[in-house]
Amino acid sequence: MPSEKEYLEKEHLLKNFSLFITIVKTMLFIICGALLYVGFGDKFDFDFQKQAIKQSRYANSQSSFDEEDWDKVENGIHVASGLVYVDNFDIIRANCTACHSGKLVAQNRSTREGWKQMIRWMQETQGLWDLGKNEPIILDYLAKYYAPEEVGRRANIDMAEVEWYILELD
């Protein structure tokens, strides 16, 4: 028969042993976790801000123009920019829709000289670059499709063509 003292000593030893096992288990758990993180951490996206940006980008790409709409032309108008579509439209798109909507261009009308002044103004104050050899192409385009409209003004009467009659009063 073990004495009570022996029994207590054994129990104490057992307790210590189970504590030791718990510590080892915990350490193993942590080491495994660390190894998993090192091995596969990059597969998970822990950066929630980045995730949010990705998601909003996705949402934006869904709501805004799809690839095919980018070049869509309806009734001679390039839909995405609202500008008249021509053969060398890429020159216009690259230079005139970079900072503002093409609709701002389409709303305006002017002579070739007026357009040139607008371009100079943007170059001097808004950081528009030198258009180089594209400038005459762009000016031709603007002067042709966005020329001033004579709204509400009738053509001059050709006096020679008018058939005059005598107003008879009794």
Does 138 contact ligand HEC by CB under 6 A? yes
The residue range among 8-16, 27-35, 68-76, 125-133 that interacts with ligand HEC, by the rule CB under 6 A, is 125-133
Bridge partners of residue 73, in order along the sequence: 78
| Residue 119 engages ligand HEC in binding (rule: CB under 6 A) | yes
Give the pairing type, strands 83-84 and 77-78. Answer: antiparallel
**Inter-axis angle of helices 134-145 and 89-96, nearest 10:** 100
Pick one of 122, 137, 143, 147: the residue that binds ligand HEC (CB under 6 A).
122
Helix (H, G, I), strand (E, B), or coil: what is residue 83? strand
**Min separation Cβ 136 and ligand HEC, Å:** 12
Instruction: Write the CA distances from 62 to 32, 55, 106, integer angstroms.
Output: 40, 11, 26
Q: Does 83 bind ligand HEC (CB under 6 A)?
A: no
Q: Which residues contact 128 (CB under 8 A, 6 or more apart)?
A: 99, 119, 122
Taking the complex as a whole, how short is the minimal distance between the CB of residue 53 and ligand HEC, in angstroms?
26
How far is C-alpha 108 from the geometric centre of its chain's CA atoms?
24
3-state SS of 60-81 is: HHHHCCCHHHHHCEECCEECCC
Q: Is 96 in the site for ligand HEC (CB under 6 A)?
A: yes
Per CB under 6 A, 117 contacts ligand HEC: no
Residue of the chain from 76, 127, 132, 152 that contacts ligand HEC (CB under 6 A): 127
Stretch that binds ligand HEC, among 10-18, 45-53, 98-106, 156-164 (CB under 6 A): 98-106
Q: How many residues bind ligand HEC (CB under 6 A)?
A: 16
Residues contributing to the site for ligand HEC (CB under 6 A): 95-96, 98-100, 104-105, 108, 118-119, 122, 126-128, 138, 142
